[in-house]
Each structure stands twice: as C-alpha cells, then as structure tokens.
C-alpha cells in the first residue's frame, strides 16, 4: 500500500516528546487526551503539552522559536476554534494589543525623555521644574479660579509655602504609582489645602467662618482624606472580584499591581494544570525573570508566523508618563462631563446636580448660597482685611488663627455639629469656587474605571485566544514511515 | 498523582538505570526530583585529561517546559572546569540551558552537550568577564541573561528583585 498515508491515530505506541508519557492505541488514557503530530518528522506530543510549551516559550522575550519543531524545524500552525464570534474577539484583541504597544512606545519615549531632561537641569533647574509642574497640576486639577485666588501667574506673589508644596506634587504623583500606599490624591489635596488660605484670605481674623451651609460638593480636603481612600479601597476590592470572576481563579493578581496583569497572564499560562502554592511561587519567580527585559524593550514581541503577541507589563516610562498626565487627564475628563451636563434633558440635570455645577457665574446654583454670594464673596474679593495681618496654621479645616494681638481664636462657641459639617464642607472659601476639583475627581475616576475595563477586556480576550488555540494536526505524508510503529492494517497484511 | 515533572524525571531516571549513562558521565545523586548530581569527564584527547567535574541539575515543577538550572559544583573541594564559557562559580553560558532549551532535550542530552563543549575546548581560560560576573552573579544561573555569542562577554546580570518589585 504505497499510497497509504498514516496519521496520528495509526501509531501503536505514542510517546509525547514533552512529557514522555506513553499511550498504546488499544489502551487510551482515561480521560482521553488529544495527541497531535504537528510537523514533518516523527515527533508527536499531547496537544496540551505542546500548547503549554508554546505559551511558556513565547512568554520569554528571547526564547527559542517554540512554534518550530525542535527536530525538523517545521513551523507549527495554530488554528482557533470559536467561529465568527471568536474571530471578532481576536480582532478586538489585536486592536487592543496595538493600543497597548503604542502606549508602550510612548512610555519608552518618556523613559528616555524624562531622565535626560531632569538630568540636564539638575539642581535648581530640577526644583524649578517640579515647582512649575506643581503649579500646572493645581491649575489643571482645581481650575483657573482657584489657581488665580491662591497662586497667580506672578510667581513673586506666591505664598512662601507654595515653594514647598508645589514641587512635592509631581514627586508624590509619581510615588503613588509605584507604591500603592501613596494615595496620590489625598496627598495632593493635603498639599493644596493651603495653610495660607486664611493668611491670604480676606476674612478679618476675628471672624472665623466655617462653611457649614454648603455640604455639597465635599471640599478637596474631604475628598482627599476620606472619600477617595474609601472609594479606592472599595474599588480595588470590586475590581479584584470582577477580575477573578472574569478571568478565573488562576489569575493571581499581584497586590496593588494591577498594571502587571498582562504579564501575569502571559506567564501563568505556561504554569500547567496544577496551581498549588509551590507552583505559584515558581511562577512568580519565572515572572520576575520574564519581566526583566521589559525595561529594554517595553513594547512587545511579535511573531509574524502566528500573530502571537506578548505584551510586557507597564514599564517604567509608562508609569512615569501616566503619573504626570494625571492632572491633564483629570481636567479633560472634568470638562468632558461638564459638557455632558450642559445638555438638555433629565439625565443632564441629574449630572449637573452630581457635579454641583450650573451655568457659570449664575448665582442660583444649587450649592451656592445666595447670601454668601452677596455678602462674603465680594468682600472676599475686595480683600477688606489687610493681608498679612494674621497667620494661621493647621491641618485641613482645623485651624488656629492668630491675629496681631496674639490672641488665639478657635471657634469655641461653634457647636460641634457645625464643626463636623465644616469638616465635611471644608472652609468657606472652598465653597465659593466653582468646584472644578470635584468634577475633575469624578472625571478621573471615570477614566480609571474605563481604563481598567479596557484592560480587563484585553486580558479576557487574551485568555480566550489561549483557550481556543489548537495545533494543526498533520498526517505523516513525507515522513519516513518505516521508523513508525504503526498499528497493523488488515489490508497491509493481505 | 505525581506532577508532570516528577513523572518525566522518573522516566529519565529509569532510562539511566536501565541503559546506563554515556561514557564519562555518571549519576551520583538523584534522591529526589529537584536536584541531581552527575560527574562528568572528557574522554580521549582533550585539555581536561584526568579531570573530573560535578554537574548539578535543579528542576522546578515546570520541567520539562522550563529548563533545568545546570551548573558545576564548586564547593567541597570541587572545581569548575577552566573554560571560556564556564565561570569560576560554576555557572555555564550555554544556549541550550537558556533560550535554546526545548522539552525534547533531556538531562542526559544536556550532559552530553556539555561534555562535548569541554572536549572541543582549544584553550583553557575563564570568560573575559569572569570576575565581574562572579561578583554579582545570582545564586541561580537561570536568573542570568546570558548572551550566547561565541566570545564570552556573555552575560548581563539583571538585578531581578530591584527591577520587578519596585518598578514594574
């Protein structure tokens, strides 16, 4: 039978070249495992073994080409199950991958640019840049109104502590990206809760005004120290849950390093079937090994043969860029939802309430106290009290004020209820600004949610792609079959 | 059920016991499926006449998907061969232990490859960058990213802990 071409099913004794398990044709393993002959030589393997080897080897940036047979160098072909829907999914997967790759390139750019810029202006220059960036961040995040009130474009008029607070802003922004315990917004708003609010402020030192009327929106202080950390914890918990639900328990999320998830998926895939603790430790180690080249080549590795793309976790540059772009993104998002809120309709009016905005400088905004507008706002603006007549210090809304005579004024006759409300609402001065920070915070929150959702989608698509992979099985055409241990064919014997 | 690595290693062990090791290679320790020791000698004409080295294999549960960590033992009076691709701490710069590893290879195949690497040596010398490498080398050679070019300037040490945990 010279034209007879045997297939994998005709082998009497199969041995997987990866796990070296054997199986005879009359005693299939239980449960049955798929065998594949993917190349043009006599090597055969379990499909699952081969897939996990391919996945692991591809996870290594400079690994050998796992899509080639180690013996005859035939390219393995990967096909996918899943039909049109699967095809669409992989389309989106590729698109997201490209976006990620692009982000990676940008990150690399920043990684090159930031240190070189910083290094070129070491010393005073660095400090100057940090301060300038801090001022920029304030302007972006808190809006021009706040900026103009506390800082101005004229740096000589800045209060002395601005020169301490402002340069710290970029440092904390960046730190918050690397160490999750640095919540960036709490710290930034702590810095922005100007201790000099009152010293520059117009209030006569004797009149200590608490914002007890306007409870909404919360002051930057409240947002930064209470609402945001709380929201952060809840959000991270929810995100973890959703991630687990979507991607299965085999995705260990590294604590507080969700950005690394891409890499984890890639590495874990090769972990094999059992996910015990020891295994996971090894995975973690492997992951570290694999993660390293990310700094050299943060982007991706593309194997043209099968379009398999490996994405490394957000590298340094991406994190730096991400951190420094926070104010800009926040402002853009804030403006975006403001535009949405300006529209007609019920939803928009709800949004207006949530954002606590109204048409600009129209005094009938829901959070705007008409009285305060007519009385204290102009007075504030006019600066009826001579600046510098009082010094105040404190944290948040607890402040002690000294006037020139040295007598301490603490709102001793202020009822506790009012103090608590003041804590929430912040100082009166805050209430008199258009709450840009509030919509920017919300906007940035939306941005984070959207980003994470996209990230999750990408991970899920990667997982789907992995799951639907199959190795194309070939017959033994062109192979010297005399070396094969074939099941005797009745025809052959005859 | 034993893990895949344990089952595959027990098969390899059985083959070694049944068929014996190739000439010049001897299994001296295989108490478990995590660390094996071999002695290795170069037979015939070579620069390593009458020298015997001890080779250590360490396997993780992903073997053979992940490569074994292979190095020469340099403790207990044992020496690593003086070779342009072998560092004095026993680490070996050989592509089949790194990015050229494939599950089709076996422990014995690695031994034989290293044996022939020694046999073909023309000049007994340490890698150029030996001192620098040994000073900073990680304990596990798998954590070194070697460059597999003929001339040994072959490695780059990656401070793995620092980079990944802090920055990534």
What's the confidence (pLDDT) of residue A123? 61
Q: Which of A42-51, A352-361, A449-458 is predicted least confidently?
A: A352-361
Contacts of B65 in chain A (CB under 8 A): 18, 49, 52-53, 56, 270, 272
* C-beta separation of A286 from B66 below 8 A: yes
ipTM of the assembly? 0.77
Which tens digit of pLDDT belongs to each residue from A17-58?
888 888 887 777 777 788 888 888 888 888 888 888 887 776
What's the confidence (pLDDT) of residue A377? 35
A301: left (phi over 0), alpha (psi -120 to 50) or beta: beta
List Cα–Cα distances, A344 to A137, A339, A352, in angstroms.
31, 11, 11
Instruction: Evaluate if residue A165 carries a pLDDT over 50.
Output: yes
- Percent helix / strand / coil, chain A, rounded to 5: 55, 10, 35
Instruction: Evaluate if residue B139 carries a pLDDT over 60.
Output: yes
Q: Chain B interface, mutation test: which of A174, A292, A301, A313, most B Cβ atoms within 10 Å?
A: A292
- Token duo for residue B38: 């071999």
Report the alpha-carbon distance of residue A448 to residue A259 in Å, rounded: 12
Instruction: Evaluate if residue A243 carries a pLDDT over 70.
Output: yes
Residue with tokens 């954590």: B143
What's the confidence (pLDDT) of residue A392? 36
Which chain B residue shows the shortest CA-CA distance from A271? B62
List Cα–Cα distances, A146 to A149, A151, A229, A315, A431, in angstroms.
5, 8, 23, 35, 11
- Examine the residue annotation and report whether B111 is marked as an active-site residue of this protein: no
Q: DSSP letter string over A175-216?
A: HHHH-TTS-HHHHHHHHHS-GGGTTSS-S-TT---B--S--S
Provide the mean pLDDT of chain A: 62
Instruction: Evaluate if residue A396 carries a pLDDT over 70.
Output: no
Instruction: Evaluate if residue A247 carries a pLDDT over 60.
Output: yes
Q: Which of A283-292, A438-447, B3-12 is predicted least confidently?
A: A283-292
Give the whole-number percent of chain B exceeding pLDDT 90.
Answer: 8
Q: Which of A208-212, A386-390, A479-483 is predicted least confidently?
A: A386-390
B15: left (phi over 0), alpha (psi -120 to 50) or beta: alpha
- A217 preceded by a cis bond (ω within 30 of 0): yes
Average pLDDT score over residue span A465-488: 73
Report the alpha-carbon distance of residue B40 to residue A251 in Å, rounded: 42
Whether residues A287 and B145 touch (CB distance < 8 A) is answered with: no
Instruction: Evaluate if residue A272 carries a pLDDT over 50.
Output: no
Bridge pairing between strands B155-156 and A35-36 = unpaired
Bridge pairing between strands B155-156 and A13-15 = unpaired
Instruction: Evaluate if residue A309 carries a pLDDT over 70.
Output: no
Which tens digit of pLDDT belongs to each residue from B59-98?
988 888 888 899 999 888 888 888 888 888 888 888 788 7
Interchain CB contacts (distance < 8 Å): A and B: 93
What's the confidence (pLDDT) of residue A62? 54
Residue B162 pLDDT level (bands cut at 50, 70, 90): very low
Contacts of A311 in chain B (CB under 8 A): none
Question: For chain B, how big is the Rg over CA atoms in Å?
Answer: 16
Instruction: Evaluate if residue A382 carries a pLDDT over 50.
Output: no
Contacts of A263 in chain B (CB under 8 A): 168
Q: What are phi and psi of A78, to 5 degrees?
A: -105, 130
Q: Kindly state whether A370 is in contact with chain B, defined as any CB-CB distance less than 8 angstroms.
A: no
Instruction: Evaluate if residue A426 carries a pLDDT over 70.
Output: no
Q: What is the CATH number of domain B4-163?
A: 3.10.110.10
Coil, strand or helix at B158: coil
CA distance A244 to chain B (A): 21
Indicate which residue of B21, B93, B121, B152 is catalytic: B93
Smallest Cα–Cα separation from A467: which of A76, A31, A48? A48
Q: Kindly state whether A293 is in contact with chain B, defined as any CB-CB distance less than 8 angstroms.
A: yes
CA angle in degrees (0–180, nearest 5) for A334-A339-A343: 145
Q: How many other C-beta atoms can be found within 10 angstroms of the C-beta atom of residue A27? A: 8
Instruction: Evaluate if residue A334 carries a pLDDT over 70.
Output: yes
Q: Kindly state whether B126 is in contact with chain A, defined as any CB-CB distance less than 8 angstroms.
A: no
What's the confidence (pLDDT) of residue A177? 65
Residue A435 pLDDT level (bands cut at 50, 70, 90): confident
Average pLDDT score over residue span A339-356: 78
Report the alpha-carbon distance of residue A61 to residue A394 in Å, rounded: 53
Q: In the sheet that A391-395 helps form, which strands lie side by side, from edge to edge?
A: A391-395, A398-402, A408-409
Report the alpha-carbon distance of residue B132 to residue A52 in Å, rounded: 36
- Of A62, A274, A292, nearest to B3 by CB-CB distance is A274
Smallest Cα–Cα separation from A292: which of B149, B65, B141, B167? B167
Q: Kindly state whether A125 is in contact with chain B, defined as any CB-CB distance less than 8 angstroms.
A: no
């Amino acid at each position: 039978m010279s034209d007879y071409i045997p297939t994998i099913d005709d082998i009497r004794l199969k041995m997987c070249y990866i796990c070296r398990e054997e199986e005879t044709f009359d005693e299939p393993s239980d449960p049955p495992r798929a065998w594949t002959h993917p190349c043009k030589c006599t090597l055969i393997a379990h499909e699952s073994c081969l897939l996990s080897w391919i996945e692991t080897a591809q996870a290594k940036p400079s690994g050998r080409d796992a899509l080639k047979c180690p013996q005859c160098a035939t390219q393995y072909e990967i096909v996918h199950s899943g039909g049109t829907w699967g095809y669409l999914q992989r389309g989106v997967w590729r698109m997201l991958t490209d976006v990620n790759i692009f982000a990676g390139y940008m990150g690399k750019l920043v990684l090159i640019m930031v240190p070189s810029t910083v290094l070129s202006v070491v010393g005073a220059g660095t400090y100057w840049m940090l301060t300038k960036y801090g001022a920029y961040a304030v302007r972006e995040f808190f809006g021009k109104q706040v900026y103009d009130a506390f800082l101005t474009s004229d740096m000589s008029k800045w209060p002395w502590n601005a020169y301490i607070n402002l340069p710290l802003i970029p440092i904390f922004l960046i730190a918050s990206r690397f160490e999750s315990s640095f919540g960036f917004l709490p710290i930034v708003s702590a810095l922005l809760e100007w201790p000099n609010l009152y010293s520059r402020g117009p209030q006569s030192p004797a009149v200590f005004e608490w914002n007890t009327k306007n409870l909404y929106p919360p002051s930057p202080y409240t947002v930064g120290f209470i609402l945001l950390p709380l929201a952060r914890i809840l959000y991270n918990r929810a995100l973890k849950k959703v991630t687990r639900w979507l991607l299965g328990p085999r995705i260990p999320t590294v604590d507080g390093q969700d950005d690394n998830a891409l890499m984890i998926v890639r590495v874990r895939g090769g972990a094999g079937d059992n996910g015990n603790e020891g295994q996971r430790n090894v995975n973690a180690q492997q992951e570290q090994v694999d993660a390293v080249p990310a700094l050299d080549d943060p982007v991706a590795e593309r194997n043209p043969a099968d379009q398999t793309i490996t994405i490394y976790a957000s590298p340094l540059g991406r994190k730096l860029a991400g951190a420094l772009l926070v104010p800009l993104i926040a402002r853009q998002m804030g403006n975006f939802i403001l535009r949405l809120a300006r529209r007609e309709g019920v939803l928009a009016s709800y949004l207006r309430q949530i954002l606590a905005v109204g048409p600009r400088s129209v005094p009938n905004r829901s959070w705007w106290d008409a009285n305060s507008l007519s009385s204290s706002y102009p007075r504030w603006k006019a600066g009826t009290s001579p600046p510098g007549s009082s010094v105040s210090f404190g944290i948040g809304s607890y402040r002690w004020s000294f006037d020139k005579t040295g007598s301490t004024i603490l709102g001793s006759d202020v009822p506790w209820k009012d103090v608590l409300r003041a804590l929430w609402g912040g100082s009166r001065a805050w209430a008199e600004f258009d709450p840009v920070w509030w919509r920017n915070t919300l906007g940035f929150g939306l941005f984070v949610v959207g980003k994470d959702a996209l990230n999750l989608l990408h991970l899920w698509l990667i997982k789907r792609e992995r799951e639907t992979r199959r190795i194309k099985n070939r017959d033994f055409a062109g192979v010297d079959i005399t070396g094969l241990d074939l099941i005797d064919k009745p025809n052959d014997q005859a | 059920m034993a893990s895949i690595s344990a089952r595959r290693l027990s098969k390899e062990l059985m083959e070694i016991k049944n068929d014996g090791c190739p000439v010049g290679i001897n299994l001296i320790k295989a108490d478990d499926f995590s660390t094996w020791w071999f002695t290795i000698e170069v037979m015939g004409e070579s620069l390593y006449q009458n020298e015997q080295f001890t080779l250590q294999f360490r396997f993780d549960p992903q073997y053979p998907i992940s490569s074994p960590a292979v190095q020469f033992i340099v403790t207990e009076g044992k020496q690593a061969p003086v070779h342009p691709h072998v560092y004095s701490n026993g680490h070996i710069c050989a592509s089949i232990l790194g990015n050229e590893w494939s599950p089709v290879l076996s422990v014995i195949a690695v031994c034989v490859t290293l044996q022939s690497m020694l046999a073909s040596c023309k000049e007994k010398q340490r890698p150029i960058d030996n001192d620098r490498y040994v000073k900073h080398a990680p304990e596990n050679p798998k954590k070194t990213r070697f460059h597999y070019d003929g001339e040994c300037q072959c490695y780059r040490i990656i401070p793995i802990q620092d980079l990944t945990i802090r920055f990534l």
